[in-house]
Structure 1
Amino acid sequence: MLDLDPDVVATARELAARAAEPVVRIAKAHTTVAVERATLRLAGITGADSGHRAGDVPWVNRVVDTVREHCGLEHGVVVPAFHAMREHDLGSLTELAEATAAGQIQYRIPDRRAADRAAKAARTAVAKGLRTVDRNRAQRDKLVARLGDPPQRPWIYLIVATGDIDEDVVQAASAARAGADIIAVIRSTGQSLLDYVPEGATHHGFAGTYATQENFRIMRGAMDDVSREVGRYIRVTNYASGLCMPEIAVLGGLQRLDMMLNDSMYGILFRDINPIRTFVDQRFSRQVHARAGIIINTGEDNYLTTADAVDAAHTVTVSQLLNEHFAHEAGLPDELLGLGHAFEINPTVPESFRLELAHALLARELFPDAPLKWMPPTKHMTGDVFFGHLLDGFFNLAGVLTGQSILLVGMMTEAVVTPFLSDRDLAIRNVKYVLNAAAGLREDFHPAPGGFIAKRAHQVLGEAVDLLDRIVRDGLLDAIADGTFGLMKRPPDKGKGADGVIEKADAYRNPASELLESGATT
């Protein structure tokens, strides 16, 4: 439709790869406390020390923190941990954690023969965890084949966020019965900055519900029941982001979540998490997502809530291209790459709808095989619920016309209050009306060659190439530090979690990374 110049598109991807490569090298050369904890979670550790005076401390944190204190994490956590299990004749990692909490374990890096034995035992344990992930992926495929996917695209994506997992289940079931295809459980505010994952089911949270393994299990089980009731597979989404990105990715794979928010720069820009920490963690988490068959959702829509949606449109395209390269390098295929963008142009701007169509169509044509996630208006929702409902209708229409894959339901009370169930019901009706009324309209939608929409799309792509060229010259980390994306300036040596980044030693061992890189099962 847009007649994009294939040479310009190829140049954009080449520049994105060149801009990303130095960061990939840094990610490969480092580990983090979260990567090491995720590895032990795959190896089977669960539970928490409930007797700690400051509150429950997950056993995985206890082990990783103590290993780091005793002998460092430059060699990885598995060799000292599994060597200690053998030395003390312990039957599980949980027993090891209990002994650690009691002060009975002194971790060390053993000699080479003992290290090889420990690494072999760790590989066996991690492989067992990955086989659970593999079984869950196969189970999802069976359920989709049996129950069917939603009959239309885009899929309808709706948020629940009560703070209580049991109440979330009630709202999610109601949403699925009303027509939602994907249920996203919003995390409690601030969880992305916790350097641990809470244990168990939770019944409190501010503006969201804690992401825990048990909460994942509860929601997935409930949506399996509803899937059988409504006759289509209902997907479940949560957040693999923040300081525990790798761990939450693992827990999502172990509990058969279907989608996870996972962006290469969101935590850096909007949560002030250290850039190196984020890039190391996102590479490992995306390898887990690739293994689990989990669709990731990236966060480019957030740039347009802090920067102008017209002036900064090309930064969205640049981020999408970078996210694509980081995803491919980690093993994620296009069909799992839910690149994000949003309907956030100020509605008072002349020709705003045509501009939105140009931006959305550019994303669709640049990434034809990716399940793009289209986000509704939030920045310019004023509290006028009637205008907000109309604006959401225009957003839904743009999604249909430009072939978006995942459509997050816009609420008329968005950014004003937490929407009531009645608001959600009206929002789903809005989406369903537009999807039904305009179902085949895309085949009649052909922007004029050289017209307003085509020219705008070409302009944004050209500006993206120019920015990528500058990023290649200056470096991606410097571009992030300069406020290139979302106007946020984040230096590479600053930010939360920086002290959790460790440079790997030559003898570093991590069976999870080895198995994920190779695709092996043993």
Structure 2
Amino acid sequence: MALLDLDPRAVATARRLAERAAAPVIDLARRHTTVSLERATLRLAGITGADHTHRAGDVPWVNRVVDTVRAHCGLDHGAALPVFHALAEHGLGTLTDLAEATAAGQVQYRVPTGADAARAEGSARAAIARGLRAVDRNRADRDRLVADLGDPPRRPWLYLIVATGDIDEDVVQAANAARAGADVIAVIRSTGQSLLDYVPEGATHHGFAGTYATEENFRIMRAAMDEVSREVGRYIRVTNYASGLCMSEIAVLAGLRRLDMMLNDSMYGILFRDINPVRTFVDQRFSRQIHARAGIIINTGEDNYLTTDDAVDAAHTVTVSQLLNERFAHEAGLGDHLLGLGHAFEIDPALPDSFRLELAHALLARELFPDAPLKWMPPTKHMTGDVFNGYLLNGFFNLAGALTGQSILLVGMMTEAVATPFLSDRDLALRNVRHVLDAAGGLAEDFRPAPGGLIVKRAHQVLGEAVDLLARIADDGLLNAIAEGTFGLMKRPADQGRGADGVIAKAEGYRNPATDLLDTGGDQ
């Protein structure tokens, strides 16, 4: 039931402006490729493993091949045709054989033409289609497991972070968290992985403040949570991060290993990791197409804006970003049921009426996106190290989530601002959530903000400010808005940032069976 009496014309205008603001960026993404997108394509085709003999350390075979293709004939026609032409030309059986021959300097790549191009494209399409069918099977397996084991009995789903650096230790923490009531396990990535232009291979045990996102780590955690799901009698979802310089590849690996949610924001990497804007938008479109195919819920990152900007003054930028994320996601094929749009409880608690303002912002998001599984983030910026105050503040956050019908609730730690050596902190945090949700029960049914009251007026104000900002962005361009520091106070020019040298304009003859199949939904 609508509680804010939002003007439907203002809502329609906001979406129309978001579509107009996003259109040039979508066109830009369609006209470019990236080294990560080309590597993701070959991962779908089956390439795995790494060169363990390199003096600088392990180099994934997919990096070795794509870098060599680029050096020999460029990537403006894509990597798939040169790779599959070379595979046939040299009579090699697998992409791994080709990678080894490439490392030995035995392969010269070129863009095939005529009949050679047609044969290479057919072979590439067949291999990539097999990869996509594996993604399809994983989606079907998830649906079957959810049907057999059941979803959590109530919303919001409780989302809990593990982050030891060692995948085996993460499994222990994740299993205990699920037994204690967590519904979604998020494995935090090792610090700095988003800036690596390769995906490490194998299981890892040495991450810093998180664990490396690798295909094997994904496999280990998913298998462990399947076992725990059967034990606790509900399907436990697993989350990781499809962001950074390898956004496209990590999305593919998530689809191949049946992860359920992925952090995947259209602007987070630009704003908070200084990754080139064009590269980010190209990779996010491909990654979201993969997520749509895999049935993976994306989590967007609007909460981060409120850690660098004021949560009251900048509230409308969250709404603008949500609308842009929605538009980019829809264009890539993601339905509303897969849009875990983000927002956060970050207003200074010392501000008078801070809780009412939080309710206004949360209700606005809920009513603008009624069918989206919104992800509600706990307080972080104003956690001082006073664990008693932090526990109370998280209680307010949990109550706001219950009152406003949030879908995914990230469990807040009272020790957010200090070192957290004990699993007991997570146990206490889960107890806080359960106590509030159990006590609140169906309180949302009784919650009706007063017409014309502060909550309703504030929601209308934020929506109006969002419409005004979207109008400026639609006129001036989203890339210019990002360069000017519109979001999170971060200024990121379109021609700068990490990974800019990995962006390639497509030639007229560019061919990529992966994007063709994802665009058309083929071979399902």
Asked if the contact 1:30/1:501 (under 8 Å) is kept, the reply is yes
Aligned to 2:24: 22
Deviations 1:183-216 (A, max 9, x none): 0000000000000000000001100000000000
Aligned to 1:386: 388
Shift of 1:419: 5.3
Aligned to 2:399: 397
Q: Secondary structure of the equivalent of 2:234?
A: coil
Q: Secondary structure of the equivalent of 1:410?
A: coil
Supply the distance in 1 between the matched residues of 2:260 and 2:221 (Cα, whole angstroms).
12
Aligned to 1:467: 469
Of the three residues 186, 189, 209, the one matched with 1:187 is 189
Supply the distance in 1 between the matched residues of 2:228 and 2:475 (Cα, whole angstroms).
52
Give the structure-2-normalised TM-score.
0.99
Structure 2 stretches of 5 or more lacking a match?
A: none
Aligned to 1:55: 57
Supply the distance in 1 between the matched residues of 2:30 and 2:327 (Cα, whole angstroms).
15
Aligned to 2:337: 335
Give the letter aligned to residue 32 of structure 1.
T
Asked if the contact 1:413/1:419 (under 8 Å) is kept, the reply is no
Aligned to 2:315: 313
Is the counterpart of residue 31 in structure 1 residue 33 in structure 2?
yes
Give the letter aligned to residue 119 of structure 2.
R
Shift of 1:100: 0.1
Deviations 1:217-256 (A, max 9, x none): 0000000000000000000000000000000000000000
Asked if the contact 1:201/1:215 (under 8 Å) is kept, the reply is yes
Give the letter aligned to residue 192 of structure 2.
G
Supply the distance in 1 between the matched residues of 2:231 and 2:111 (Cα, whole angstroms).
54
Supply the distance in 2 between the matched residues of 1:206 and 1:413 (Cα, whole angstroms).
19
Supply the distance in 2 between the matched residues of 1:511 and 1:418 (Cα, whole angstroms).
47
Aligned to 2:417: 415
Aligned length: 522
Is the counterpart of residue 119 in structure 1 residue 157 in structure 2?
no
Give the letter aligned to residue 482 of structure 1.
E
Supply the distance in 2 between the matched residues of 1:300 and 1:418 (Cα, whole angstroms).
25
Is the counterpart of residue 105 in structure 1 residue 92 in structure 2?
no
Q: Secondary structure of the equivalent of 1:61?
A: helix
Supply the distance in 2 between the matched residues of 1:500 and 1:424 (Cα, whole angstroms).
40
Aligned to 1:82: 84
Q: What does 1:419-498 correspond to in 2, within 5 Å?
A: 420-498=422-500
Of the three residues 164, 167, 184, the one matched with 2:166 is 164
Give the letter aligned to residue 318 of structure 1.
V
Deviations 1:64-89 (A, max 9, x none): 00000000000000110000000000
Structure 1 runs (4+) deviating above 6 angstroms are none
Shift of 1:420: 2.1
Q: Secondary structure of the equivalent of 2:159?
A: strand
Give the letter aligned to residue 75 of structure 1.
H
Aligned to 1:4: 6
Supply the distance in 2 between the matched residues of 1:312 and 1:148 (Cα, whole angstroms).
39
Supply the distance in 1 between the matched residues of 2:254 and 2:421 (Cα, whole angstroms).
27
Query: Which stretch of structure 1 is more off in the superposition, 415-424 or 310-319?
Result: 415-424
Asked if the contact 1:411/1:419 (under 8 Å) is kept, the reply is no
Supply the distance in 1 between the matched residues of 2:354 and 2:265 (Cα, whole angstroms).
27
Shift of 1:415: 2.5
Shift of 1:418: 3.2
Q: Secondary structure of the equivalent of 2:161?
A: strand
Give the letter aligned to residue 516 of structure 1.
L
Supply the distance in 1 between the matched residues of 2:184 and 2:336 (Cα, whole angstroms).
19
Supply the distance in 1 between the matched residues of 2:37 and 2:114 (Cα, whole angstroms).
23
Report percent identity of matched pairs. 82
Supply the distance in 2 between the matched residues of 1:433 and 1:114 (Cα, whole angstroms).
66
Q: What does 1:127-166 correspond to in 2, within 5 Å?
A: 127-166=129-168
Aligned to 1:244: 246
Supply the distance in 2 between the matched residues of 1:332 and 1:306 (Cα, whole angstroms).
29
Q: Secondary structure of the equivalent of 2:381?
A: coil
Is the counterpart of residue 178 in structure 1 residue 180 in structure 2?
yes
Deviations 1:238-280 (A, max 9, x none): 0000000000000000000000000000000000000000000
Of the three residues 300, 303, 311, the one matched with 2:302 is 300
Q: What does 1:196-215 correspond to in 2, within 5 Å?
A: 196-215=198-217
Supply the distance in 1 between the matched residues of 2:381 and 2:118 (Cα, whole angstroms).
55
Supply the distance in 2 between the matched residues of 1:519 and 1:106 (Cα, whole angstroms).
33
Supply the distance in 1 between the matched residues of 2:23 and 2:452 (Cα, whole angstroms).
35
Q: Secondary structure of the equivalent of 1:407?
A: strand
Supply the distance in 2 between the matched residues of 1:418 and 1:267 (Cα, whole angstroms).
26
Q: What does 1:211-230 correspond to in 2, within 5 Å?
A: 211-230=213-232
Shift of 1:483: 0.2
Of the three residues 358, 363, 368, the one matched with 2:360 is 358
Give the letter aligned to residue 80 of structure 1.
P
Asked if the contact 1:158/1:184 (under 8 Å) is kept, the reply is yes
Supply the distance in 2 between the matched residues of 1:417 and 1:5 (Cα, whole angstroms).
46
Q: Secondary structure of the equivalent of 1:493?
A: coil
Q: Secondary structure of the equivalent of 1:96?
A: helix
Give the letter aligned to residue 424 of structure 1.
R
Give the letter aligned to residue 216 of structure 2.
E
Q: Secondary structure of the equivalent of 1:158?
A: strand
Supply the distance in 1 between the matched residues of 2:377 and 2:388 (Cα, whole angstroms).
19
TM-align CA RMSD? 0.6
Shift of 1:110: 1.6
Structure 1 stretches of 5 or more lacking a match?
A: none
Give the letter aligned to residue 263 of structure 1.
D
Aligned to 1:348: 350
Supply the distance in 1 between the matched residues of 2:333 and 2:508 (Cα, whole angstroms).
24
Q: Secondary structure of the equivalent of 1:260?
A: strand
Supply the distance in 2 between the matched residues of 1:358 and 1:324 (Cα, whole angstroms).
20
Give the letter aligned to residue 191 of structure 1.
Q
Q: Secondary structure of the equivalent of 2:409?
A: strand
Supply the distance in 2 between the matched residues of 1:508 and 1:119 (Cα, whole angstroms).
11
Asked if the contact 1:253/1:289 (under 8 Å) is kept, the reply is yes
Supply the distance in 2 between the matched residues of 1:460 and 1:181 (Cα, whole angstroms).
32
Is the counterpart of residue 283 in structure 1 residue 300 in structure 2?
no
